[in-house]
C-alpha cells in the first residue's frame, strides 16, 4: 500500500535500501526520458541438421500470447513469436508458420475445412510434419473432414489445441505442440491425427485418429478421447519415449475437398413431435443425421393415448427419406448402430434410414457432407457414406469396460 504522507500528490519511490522517498512532481526536473525497449523477439535460425515443421494457425489459444501493451490475448503467428512461446521446439526443429484464419473454432464453417485441406495439399511434401493449431471446441469436425479430404496423404499432419491459454501457468499449449512435433519428426506417421494431453498432468500426450476423436470434457486438459478406435500412439513429454500403434500404409493420394453443407441434425429425446420432422422436410436438406437413442432408435411405436403421435413421426420420417439421405447415429457414442435388433429399428430402416455404423454423430455429420459432395445422386451418396475410406468406420466394435 502507498505510505501515508499526508499529501496525495507526493510520488513515492522505493530505494534499494528499502526506504521510501517522497518527491513533489512540480519540483522534479526531467533530465532524460527513456523509452521502454520491451521484450526482444528471439532470432530464428534454421539448420539443415534439423527437420522442418510447418505450423498452420487457424485460431484458438494454441498459438496466442498475452499482449500487455494491448491488454488481451493476440495471435502469435510469426516464427519469432512461436520461438518465444515454445523455445524448446526451436532447439529440435526448424519452425515455419503461416496464418489461415484467426477465429474461435465454434465460428468455423465447412468452407474453412476446405481451405485448410487445400493448404495442406499445396505444401505437403515440403515439410517433415505439419501442425494445425486449432480451437478445441470443433476440432473433431475439422479432423474428420481433413481425414476424408486428404486420403493417402504421405505427410504427417497433427491437429493441436490447448485447453488453457498460454499466459496461465497450467497451460497445455507448449507440451501439446512439442509432443506433436516430436511424433511427426521421429516416426513415419502420415495422415491426420490429434495430439492432446493424455492425463491432467504434464507427462504423456495421446496421438489420436482425427476422425475418431472427440472432445469429452469442457475444461480438463485431457479432454479428448478416441471413440470406437485405438490410439495411434503416445509420447512422454519428459523422457521423449514414443509408443507407436500404427503401421505405415502405402495408399494413392488424392485431394477430394468437395462438400455439400446442406445437411441438418435431429437429436431424439422423449417428448419430440412430428412437427420437428416436418421442419426438416421444409428446409429441403440434402442430408440429415439423426442422433438416435441406444442402437439407433426413435419414437415410432404407438402404445397408448400418450404415444399416438409416434405413428405420425414414422410417417414424416418416411416422407423425409424420399428425397433426403437420412442417417441414424447413436447418442451413446461408443458402440455400433444396429437397427436389426428391435422392431423399432426395423421400422426405421423400412422408412429409408441408413446406418452410421460406429461413426459418432459429429463424424457422421461430416461424412454425410463429404459423401454428398462426392456423389452425383442420392443413391451414390448413400453408397459412399456406407463405405470405409480412411478407417472412419471400424471393422469391428471396440470393447472396453
Residues designated as active site: 61, 136-137, 215
Helices and strands of the chain, counted as H and E runs = 10, 18
CB 192 within 8 A of CB 153: yes
What is the distance between the alpha carbons of residues 242 and 247, in angstroms, rounded to a whole number? 14
Residue in this structure with the C-alpha cell 499466459, named with its chain if needed: 167
Residue in this structure with the C-alpha cell 456406407, named with its chain if needed: 386
DSSP state of 297: B
Neighbours of 265 (CB within 10 A): 18
Burial 349-371 (b: 16+ CB within 10 A, else e): eebbbbbbbbbbbbbbbbbbbbb
Phi-psi category of 7—alpha, beta or left, where left has phi over 0 and alpha has psi -120 to 50? beta
What is the distance between the alpha carbons of residues 61 and 135, in angstroms, rounded to a whole number? 7
Give me the phi and psi of 192, to 5 degrees please: -115, 125
Closest by Cα among 324, 327, 314, 384 to 353: 327
What is the distance between the alpha carbons of residues 132 and 105, in angstroms, rounded to a whole number? 12
What is the distance between the alpha carbons of residues 24 and 19, in angstroms, rounded to a whole number? 17
The sign of the dihedral angle between the CA atoms of 88, 92, 98, 104 is negative
What are the cell numbers at 295? 442402437
Q: Give 229's contacts (C-beta < 8 A, 6+ positions apart).
A: 208, 209, 212, 391, 394, 398
What is the distance between the alpha carbons of residues 90 and 84, in angstroms, rounded to a whole number? 9
DSSP state of 396: S
Amino acid at each position: 500500500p502507498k505510505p501515508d504522507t499526508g499529501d496525495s500528490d507526493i510520488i513515492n519511490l522505493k530505494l534499494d535500501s528499502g526506504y521510501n522517498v517522497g518527491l513533489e512532481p512540480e519540483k522534479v526536473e526531467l533530465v532524460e526520458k527513456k523509452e521502454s525497449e520491451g521484450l526482444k523477439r528471439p532470432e530464428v535460425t534454421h539448420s539443415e541438421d534439423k527437420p522442418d515443421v510447418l505450423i498452420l494457425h487457424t485460431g484458438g489459444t494454441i498459438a496466442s500470447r498475452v499482449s500487455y501493451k494491448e491488454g488481451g490475448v493476440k495471435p502469435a503467428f510469426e516464427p519469432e513469436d512461436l520461438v518465444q512461446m515454445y523455445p524448446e521446439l526451436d532447439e529440435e526443429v526448424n519452425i515455419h508458420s503461416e496464418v489461415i484464419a484467426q477465429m474461435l473454432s465454434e465460428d468455423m464453417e465447412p468452407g474453412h475445412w476446405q481451405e485448410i485441406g487445400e493448404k495442406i495439399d499445396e505444401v505437403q511434401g515440403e515439410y517433415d510434419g505439419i501442425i494445425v493449431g486449432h480451437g478445441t471446441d470443433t476440432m473433431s469436425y475439422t479432423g474428420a473432414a481433413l481425414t476424408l479430404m486428404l486420403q493417402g496423404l504421405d505427410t504427417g499432419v497433427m491437429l493441436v489445441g490447448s485447453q488453457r491459454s498460454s499466459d496461465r501457468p497450467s497451460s497445455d499449449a507448449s507440451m501439446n505442440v512439442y509432443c506433436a512435433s516430436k511424433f511427426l519428426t521421429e516416426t513415419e506417421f502420415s495422415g491426420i491425427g490429434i495430439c492432446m494431453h493424455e492425463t491432467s498432468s504434464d507427462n504423456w500426450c495421446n496421438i489420436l485418429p482425427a476422425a475418431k476423436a472427440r472432445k469429452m470434457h469442457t475444461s480438463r486438459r485431457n479432454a479428448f478421447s478416441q471413440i470406437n478406435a485405438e490410439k495411434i500412439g503416445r509420447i512422454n513429454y519428459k523422457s521423449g519415449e514414443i509408443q507407436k500403434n500404427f503401421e505405415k500404409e502405402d495408399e494413392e493420394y488424392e485431394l477430394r475437398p468437395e462438400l455439400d453443407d446442406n445437411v441438418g441434425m435431429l437429436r431424439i429425446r422423449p417428448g419430440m413431435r412430428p412437427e420437428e420432422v416436418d421442419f426438416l422436410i421444409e428446409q429441403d436438406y440434402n442430408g440429415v443425421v439423426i442422433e438416435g437413442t441406444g442402437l439407433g432408435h426413435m419414437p415410432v411405436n404407438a402404445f397408448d393415448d400418450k404415444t399416438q403421435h409416434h405413428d405420425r413421426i414414422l410417417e414424416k420420417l418416411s416422407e423425409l427419406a424420399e428425397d433426403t439421405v437420412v442417417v441414424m447415429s447413436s447418442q451413446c457414442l461408443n458402440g455400433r448402430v444396429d437397427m436389426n435388433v428391435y422392431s423399432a429399428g426395423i421400422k426405421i430402416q423400412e422408412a429409408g434410414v441408413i446406418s452410421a455404423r460406429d461413426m459418432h454423430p459429429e463424424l457422421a455429420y461430416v461424412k454425410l457432407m463429404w459423401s454428398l459432395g462426392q456423389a452425383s445422386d442420392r443413391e451414390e451418396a448413400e453408397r459412399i457414406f456406407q463405405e470405409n475410406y480412411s478407417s472412419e468406420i471400424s471393422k469391428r466394435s471396440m470393447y472396453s469396460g
